[in-house]
Chains A and B, each alone.
Chain A
Amino acid sequence: MVNNVDKEFITRGVRRCSTPRFVLWLAPWVALLLFGVYSAGLCLVKGLNQTNMDNRYAFGLWIFVDLTIIALGAGAFFTGFLLYILKFKELRSVINSAVVIGVVCYSGAMAALMVDVGQPLRAWFTFWYPNVHSMLTEVTFCISCYLAVLLIEYLPIVLKNRKLREVPGFLVFEFELHKLIYVLAGVGTFLSFFHQGSLGGLYGVLRGRPFAFREGIFVWPSTFFLFIISAAAVGPSFLILTTWLVEKITGKRLVKDRVFNLLARISGILLAIYVLAKTVDTLIWINRTSPALGFTASQYYDWKPFGTWILFAEIVLCGLVPALILLTPRLRARRAWLIPAAALACTGIALNRYVQTVQTMALPTLSFDKFLSYTPSWQETGTFLGVLAYGVIVYSFSFRYFRIFPEERELKTEARPRHEEEPALAGRF
């Protein structure tokens, strides 16, 4: 049974598991979070010697995780952009989930970054004495601003809680803030566009790392644009994946199939554009950029385990294949194809961020350099697991107490149709 006090906070008409069962679900995640806090605490108190990174290998698990979750969390800005600016009203049913995912991803990334940078008492130096020569400055500013925007966007979701809205001030503030949400969606899009791009640009400008260095337009290397397109492409796929996962865990139908279909179509189109752009970029890099810096592309793939398989996996297996599945109406209409395709797309982007971070650092660039290998320490892994647990806990709380999927109640009795029609607004894309 759901505890009576607990029930007062749960949205009317939706079923949630009993209070003890919810506590039981949270228990392992809380334990993991505590382990993460302990690991991060060690790094903050004792210093970065707790990690396996060093001056030569300065980007490790945390930066890879940051880049990946920031790309996966892009569903928040992109769904907001599609809903509030381009008026894809069907996405109303997933926007709250997208915002929660965004908050979790960005706040998790900020937390991991704070541990990575170290010196938490001087964290404000980043803003007060920014390094004008670092692309990370723009990234830090944009991510901080966007996290603030996301938290403001999350506020109406919290204040809409059944019990909280009994307080007149909360009810009215939520209502008034929601009316202005399109402004925040616009600002979020602007900020996301730049920080996703800057994160890519960060690698593209590394002239001393020919594996990562790219040419581009004006001051922006090609990776600037590739990161933006890939994040926009994978955001909807991650939203599909998380919604499906929540449906499976809770045993409920939360979103209409036509919404899944629309998200898949958007993701497929953008993923196809990304694969095309990435292919062109890779060909230019192999044939022009890299040779001009004195390296043939084959040299990068001589070092095991980073063989050419990784390039194939990134572009074809986790790029082209899911793009084709997501673009084929008959395939994306079936969960057996849709979910693996969305998972492949997410894996592809994670692989791309992994290659950009870990492979870039591992490869030798000077004649006396050696191929470096790196395995994260348990403190690094613990911090990462802590971020993961934090995400699950925040999402679980949000799902239990807030109206994350507005169509949940309506869908309680509807059987899933074999093939739902194409979304009415899909033709706009």
Chain B
Amino acid sequence: MFPWNYGFHFGAASYIFLGAFYIVVLVVATTLLNALWRTKHSLSEGKVEDIRWHSDFHDLSAADRSCRHVLTGEFTSRECPHAFDCRQCETHAKLIALHPPVHAAEAEAEIFGMSFPLDRMYHRGHTWARPEADGTVTVGLDDLGARLLGTPDAVDLPRPGSRVQVNGTAFRIHKREANVRVLSPVDGEVVETGGPGRGFFLRVKPLSGPIDMRHLLRGSEVKPWLMRELERLQLALTMEGASVPSLADGGVPVSDIAAAYPRTDWDAVCGEMFLEP
């Protein structure tokens, strides 16, 4: 059977059997080694955050992966093929060129009773990014995100000097049993962080040139997105067995939603809303 066996002789059967056997072993071993090599390569290139997001994105429900242009009604259904990084999306570039988002005239917008100033851009993971005059970008939690977490039990902010990347972890927030990562809307180096009393924010300096923010929601895109987010919140609360009030006039989310649902699995609700399945 094998060349090292006593009495072995080459024949058609040994060629077929050994050929098939060694090909199988070779393919399996190559696949495994390839995966290990790619792992080593990705780790050394610092792609962990990118991979974490892609893995999370893959696990989101199909409805949560929908393209931003579905929210605005430009598509009836379309799954985002770029994991919410519209900077590399040709379809997005074409649609934006055809129908640029309308910028509202007022500096501050109140949408569904929440503050969503239009001087900044929004990430679908409930963060905002506001370009500052000095070229840096301030990153913070949007009003719905802040209401979801109320007063956090703890926040793990990155150290000044560390780097953040689009769709990577900006910071982690602990609230009751919830422990969620908040996605960064921009790439860059953290130059300042805001702690308790100052609001939780990051000031990020671009690594080179101006920060590309084509992937963030802006102007007239914010309201339909937020409407979808409130639906998602209702669904998430229902999934966790919370009885969700429905008011004919809509109502306004309370400032600390977690406190209103003391017995609900808040980790699951936050995971859903902050896109960490």
Residues on A facing B (Cβ under 8 Å) = 7, 12-13, 128-132, 137-138, 141, 145, 148-149, 152, 160, 165, 168-169, 171-177, 179-180, 183-184, 187, 190-191, 403, 406, 409-410, 412-413
Contacts and interface: CB of A to CB of B under 8 A. Distances in A.
Contacts of B277: 12-13, 409
The majority secondary structure among interface residues of chain B is: helix
Contacts of B268: 12-13, 409
Nearest to A137: B1
Contact of B271 (A12, A131, A177, A180): A12
A413 B238 contact: yes
Contacts of B271: 12-13
Chain A interface main SS type: helix
Q: Interface residue tally of chain B, by bracket? A: 35 or more
A179 B54 CA distance: 12
Contact of A169 (B43, B52, B61, B235): B43
Given A13-B272, A187-B28, A412 B38 contact: no
A413 B276 contact: no
Contacts of B272: 13
B59 interface: yes
Nearest to B276: A12
Contacts of B39: 169, 172-173, 176
Interface in B23-45: 24-25, 27-28, 31-32, 34-36, 38-39, 42-43
Interface in B238-252: 238-240
Contacts of B24: 145, 187, 190-191
A196 B157 CA distance: 56
Contacts of A131: 1
Interface string B86-98: 0000000000000
Nearest to A411: B239
Nearest to B265: A13
Contacts of B267: 12-13
Contacts of A141: 21
Given A12-B277, A148-B28, A173 B36 contact: yes
Contacts of B51: 171-172, 175
B48 A171 contact: yes
B5 interface: yes
B220 interface: no
B52 A171 contact: yes
B82 interface: no
B47 A184 contact: no
Contacts of B48: 168, 171-172
